[in-house]
Chains A and B, each alone.
Chain A
């Protein structure tokens, strides 16, 4: 495969950061050359273990996802019958938990766990970044921070889905969709925590805010809490669950949140630039890839004319 300028730069950066030997470099170049230009052909033909082939998330991130997963659903399950107290369906839910006063205690307790997981997450990503900078392996393109490239990728992906190009863009470890989703969740969490404090500590807000806006603030927070919650519930049910359970190639579920690993097929399709880093960081992957491509006779002929598409 002839790499694009962008992909070449990612590969060179990764090789420099990982201080690869000349022998390794030759092997990496061999693996890159063995890949056909058509990435669809490539990812449709590699063999993948459905529970994951390539390392993606540390155990900390997996624990944080688990904490968010459990607390989010529990908070929704207890929060809805508190807010919509007078509806007929909230009665049975509240009685099942021991009455609305118990539901409220559960809701507030779980909220503390959710805040803990937020703090844990902020610590993980900031200390992880410091660690990477000190080790000389930091690359901003590998983080969740939005970059101009994401806008280009978005346009490119839309063009692909509209049938106007035959390859998806070469996306990085976190693609534009995941970045939007991540910051939506981060913002949503913050809104829920801040507005939640208006229910728990109204005196605190009354004390620190000017009298003219204190009651408006209180009203605003009491409106945002349930509405942001419903919005988040809809996003999880229709967007997140579609992406990780129902989307073609992911059905019946993606295992990354448990195993921390992503399938080779998925990595090449949606995170090709990260796959190039995998070729640098995981020596077995190079051999695995070359063997796979050779067995399927997909290695491009070096003497042949470049394919035109």
Chain B
């Protein structure tokens, strides 16, 4: 059983998660562009 995170910890954890997911989406976009881009 996990104790609850306090407000700052939640803020920190979800911000980190957001950055990670945003970077992943950007990465997928870049790879997509690389694969479909015509030279």
Contact = CB atoms under 8 A, between A and B. Distances in A.
> Are A and B subunits of one complex?
yes
Interface of A: 44-51, 73, 80, 84, 86-89, 230, 233-234, 237-238, 241, 245, 251-253, 263, 265
A46 B1 contact: yes
B7 interface: no
Interface of B: 1-5, 9-10, 13-14, 16-17, 20, 23-24, 27, 30-31, 33-34, 37, 39
Contacts of B4: 50
A44 B1 CA distance: 6
B27 A233 contact: yes
A265 B17 contact: no
A66 to B, nearest CB: 13
Contact of A48 (B1, B17, B23, B31): B1
Contacts of A80: 30
Nearest to B25: A237
A245 B16 CA distance: 9
Contact of B1 (A47, A73, A238): A47
DSSP majority for the B interface?
A: helix
A245 B24 CA distance: 13
B20 A245 contact: yes
A84 B27 CA distance: 13
A51 B9 contact: yes
A252 B13 contact: yes
A50 B3 CA distance: 6
B37 to A, nearest CB: 6
Nearest to A49: B3
Nearest to B27: A237
A73 B23 contact: yes
Nearest to B3: A49
A144 B12 CA distance: 30
A80 B37 CA distance: 15
Contacts of A49: 2-3
A235 B37 CA distance: 23
Nearest to B39: A86
A80 B13 CA distance: 28
Nearest to B19: A73
